């Protein structure tokens, strides 16, 4: 492993509910899934704000029930979307935190931090989770990390991918590549279980996570990984199954107690956490109990739920998953019997009914459960990161070909979308189509770029537009060339040319519509640095106060011990009592009003210097006592 962080690249699975980070260990020629400070290999994608500090990961999720309005999760469901999106409107009814419309209809998250209302871009929240993953990696590697490969759902559109790159930039990362989650999982499966595969094998990846669902069909032959087709839903996963349970139990509680908790964010957060635990439990048992003490107005909540009822509540979504599987195979023009391996990825793929339906669809074929569904995506991302870093020995030299999830084209005639790149086209790709002007003597043409599968352009997503000027005045039918190019990250650029007597005009669209500007990104990077500085300042103060508190405890204990008390001089006792009083006053002041960190730290140093002989004497006496 390179000692310099610039040469070390990590793979990050930025998930809706949990995130994971991994790195290639050059000394052992393998991928290491990195544990966080709690010893867990997956970290909750939660960010919380209090009057004192900002929390990320486990610490944020653990206090969600007591601080629901300022605990943000599901940021991945917001990223790259509009506030007016019907999907977002539905989610907002379930989220305890506030989401408002910002400039250009971008969703903004409203929280209270240090007693003040703060408006945050979704990219900022995602960047905080990415920063946490980077810090976890840096603690393990003992060196700075700048380069990363970040995964996204295969069905993320262009704006969602670019927003994810923006989040990485704000987090201080150089995003080397955006890679699709099922493709990353296929790399993990191929390298772990199908090394040196000489004959071509068809691998079907079924990736059902906390907030998104993706399926991809790949062929693996040797080190060649080629995606044939992909399909999915960027708004389907474990969170939706939890929501169904919450809705069910809210009604049950209302029926039994005549009380409605639908508007109480704290009660809903506690109930949601209990439902999430119950969902996991039902994956290995057929019945469980959802219990929450004093859920609402002092009333305890205790209801049992069977696996059958859970399946009934979510059956339409389970069946939607299977329909998506069928769609992917049809797109690839492949029969289900031709699939060699069906690989399960994502925590929600553990649900027994999902596995049963999937196995029935593939006519009883055994499902591959040999790779860890929570870690496979980060594993594949780390392999790609090591490959892109260069100079790292023994990294598997695989060749990866992905596909574009949605069709791309331009507006022609009256609201008709002309497809230039059909969905499931292998990327990277560059394709040029010829068009003509539709009116006489046009000197300029508006090129509007769309993404989607509908015939009407207005039913699809407008990615952006630009004007091609400099066209000579001619009758309609003047030829133009429009070129679409998709790079390794799945990012699109579009250009148009007009050639007459050797002259040409060209412009490229980079889709800034709805995206953070360069100035905004710079501002958010500075904001992120301020957040980190505030976090460090809080930890410094907490450590200084803990040191004072520890000192007070130790001194009080020494004075209460008869044997040690008899060995101290009256002058030493007076010094200890005086020190306890001053330290206690500082602690009380620090808890109730702002106290300069330097004042606390300086007094800790003063105590260490002044009372080192006394403390040493006490420690020695404790050792012999």
pLDDT tens, 215-270? 999 998 888 889 999 999 988 999 999 999 999 999 999 999 999 998 899 999 99
Q: Per-residue confidence at 194, pLDDT binned at 50, 70, 90?
A: low
Over residues 297-324, mean pLDDT:
96
33: closest CA among 20, 43, 45, 17? 20
pLDDT of 437 strictly over 90: no
Over residues 516-534, mean pLDDT:
70
Query: What integer pLDDT is reported at residue 509 of this predicted model?
Result: 54
User: Is 494 in contact with 483 (CB distance < 8 Å)?
Assistant: yes
Query: What integer pLDDT is reported at residue 185 of this predicted model?
Result: 93
Q: Per-residue confidence at 612, pLDDT binned at 50, 70, 90?
A: low
Query: What integer pLDDT is reported at residue 5 of this predicted model?
Result: 43
Query: What integer pLDDT is reported at residue 1 of this predicted model?
Result: 38
pLDDT of 316 strictly over 90: yes
pLDDT tens, residue by residue, 336-376? 999 999 999 999 999 999 999 999 999 999 999 889 999 99
Q: Are strands 492-497 and 506-509 parallel, antiparallel or unpaired?
A: antiparallel
Taking all residues of the chain, what is their mean pLDDT, rounded to a whole number? 86
pLDDT of 513 strictly over 60: no
Query: What integer pLDDT is reported at residue 548 of this predicted model?
Result: 77
Catalytic annotation, residues: 13, 76, 181, 207
User: Is 490 in contact with 402 (CB distance < 8 Å)?
Assistant: yes
Q: Per-residue confidence at 507, pLDDT binned at 50, 70, 90?
A: low
pLDDT of 312 strictly over 50: yes
Q: Which residue, chain included where needed, has tokens 């917001």?
A: 78
pLDDT of 463 strictly over 90: no
What's the pTM value of the predicted model, to 2 decimals? 0.81
> Which has the minimum average pLDDT: 169-173, 400-404, 444-448, 574-578?
574-578
- CB neighbours of residue 403 within 10 Å: 26
pLDDT of 16 strictly over 60: yes
Query: What integer pLDDT is reported at residue 213 of this predicted model?
Result: 95
> Which has the minimum average pLDDT: 19-33, 319-333, 562-576?
562-576
Query: What integer pLDDT is reported at residue 508 of this predicted model?
Result: 55
Phi-psi region of 74 (alpha: psi -120 to 50; beta: other; left: phi over 0): left
Q: Per-residue confidence at 119, pLDDT binned at 50, 70, 90?
A: very high
Which value, in Å, is the radius of gyration of the alpha carbons in the chain?
A: 29
pLDDT of 100 strictly over 60: yes
> Which has the minimum average pLDDT: 319-328, 400-409, 474-483, 560-569?
560-569
Q: Per-residue confidence at 491, pLDDT binned at 50, 70, 90?
A: confident
Q: Which whole-number Å values give the CA distances from 35 to 135, 137, 181, in the listed order?
A: 11, 8, 20
pLDDT tens, residue by residue, 43-54? 999 999 998 889
pLDDT of 3 strictly over 50: no
How far is 132 from 532, CA to CA, in rounded Å?
10
> Which residues lie closer than 8 Å to 197 by C-beta, 6 or more apart?
190, 220, 221, 222
Query: What integer pLDDT is reported at residue 4 of this predicted model?
Result: 40
User: Is 175 in contact with 8 (CB distance < 8 Å)?
Assistant: no
Q: Per-residue confidence at 599, pLDDT binned at 50, 70, 90?
A: confident
Query: What integer pLDDT is reported at residue 400 of this predicted model?
Result: 82
Greater model confidence, 166 or 524? 166
Over residues 396-401, mean pLDDT:
81
User: Helix, strand, coil % (nearest 5) of the chain?
Assistant: 45, 30, 30
Query: What integer pLDDT is reported at residue 501 of this predicted model?
Result: 56
User: Is 206 in contact with 215 (CB distance < 8 Å)?
Assistant: yes
């Amino acid at each position: 492993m390179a000692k310099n962080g610039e040469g070390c690249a990590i793979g990050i699975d930025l998930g809706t509910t949990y995130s994971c980070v991994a790195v290639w260990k050059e000394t052992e020629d393998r991928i290491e899934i990195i544990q966080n400070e709690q010893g867990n290999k997956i970290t909750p994608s939660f960010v919380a704000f209090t009057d004192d500090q900002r929390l990320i990961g486990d610490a944020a999720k653990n206090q969600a029930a007591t601080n629901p309005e300022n605990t943000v999760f599901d940021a991945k469901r917001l990223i790259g979307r509009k506030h007016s999106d019907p999907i977002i409107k539905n989610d907002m009814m379930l989220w305890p935190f506030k989401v408002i419309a910002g400039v250009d209809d971008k969703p903004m998250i409203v929280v209270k931090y240090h007693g003040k209302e703060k408006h945050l871009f979704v990219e900022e929240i995602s960047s905080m989770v990415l920063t946490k993953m980077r810090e976890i990696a840096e603690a393990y590697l003992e060196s700075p990390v700048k380069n990363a490969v970040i995964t996204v759902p295969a069905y993320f559109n262009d704006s969602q991918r670019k927003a994810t790159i923006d989040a990485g930039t704000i987090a201080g990362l150089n995003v080397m590549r955006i890679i699709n989650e099922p493709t990353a999982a296929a790399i993990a499966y191929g390298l772990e279980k199908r090394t040196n595969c000489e004959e071509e094998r068809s691998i079907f990846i079924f990736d059902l996570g906390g907030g998104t669902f993706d399926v991809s069909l790949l062929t693996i032959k040797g080190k060649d990984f080629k995606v044939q087709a992909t399909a999915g839903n960027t708004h389907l996963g474990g969170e939706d199954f939890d929501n169904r349970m919450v809705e069910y139990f809210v009604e049950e509680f209302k029926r039994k107690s005549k009380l409605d908790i639908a508007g109480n964010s704290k009660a809903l957060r506690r109930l949601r956490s209990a439902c999430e635990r119950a969902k996991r439990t039902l994956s290995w048992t057929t019945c469980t109990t959802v219990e929450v003490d004093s859920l609402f107005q002092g009333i305890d909540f205790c209801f049992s739920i069977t696996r059958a009822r859970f399946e009934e509540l979510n059956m339409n979504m389970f069946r939607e998953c299977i329909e998506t599987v069928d769609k992917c195979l049809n797109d690839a023009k492949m029969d289900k019997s031709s699939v060699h391996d069906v690989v399960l990825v994502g925590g929600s793929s553990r649900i027994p009914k999902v596995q049963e339906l999937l196995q029935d669809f593939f006519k009883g074929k055994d499902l591959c459960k040999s790779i860890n569904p929570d870690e496979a995506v980060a594993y594949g991302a780390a392999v790609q990161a090591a490959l892109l870093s260069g100079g790292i020995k023994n990294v598997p030299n695989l060749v990866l070909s992905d596909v574009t999830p949605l069709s791309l084209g331009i507006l022609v005639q009256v609201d008709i979308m002309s497809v230039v790149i059909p969905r499931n086209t292998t990327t990277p790709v560059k394709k040029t189509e010829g068009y003509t002007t539709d009116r006489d003597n046009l000197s300029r043409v508006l090129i509007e770029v769309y993404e989607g599968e509908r015939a009407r352009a207005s039913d699809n997503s407008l990615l952006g537009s630009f004007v091609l000027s400099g066209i000579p005045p001619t009758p309609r039918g003047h030829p133009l060339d429009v070129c679409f190019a998709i790079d390794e990250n799945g990012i699109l650029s579009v250009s148009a040319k007009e050639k007459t007597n050797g002259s040409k005009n060209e412009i490229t669209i980079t889709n800034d519509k709805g995206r953070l500007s360069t100035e905004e990104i710079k501002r958010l990077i500075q904001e992120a640095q301020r957040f980190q500085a505030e976090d460090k300042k809080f930890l410094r103060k907490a450590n200084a106060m803990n040191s004072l508190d520890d000192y007070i405890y130790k001194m009080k204990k020494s004075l209460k011990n008869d044997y040690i008390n008899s060995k101290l001089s009256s002058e030493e006792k007076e010094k200890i009592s005086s020190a306890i009083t001053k330290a206690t006053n500082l602690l009380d002041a620090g808890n109730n009003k702002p106290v300069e960190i330097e004042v606390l730290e300086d007094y800790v140093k003063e105590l260490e210097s002044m009372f080192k002989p006394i403390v040493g004497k006490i420690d020695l006496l404790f050792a012999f006592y």
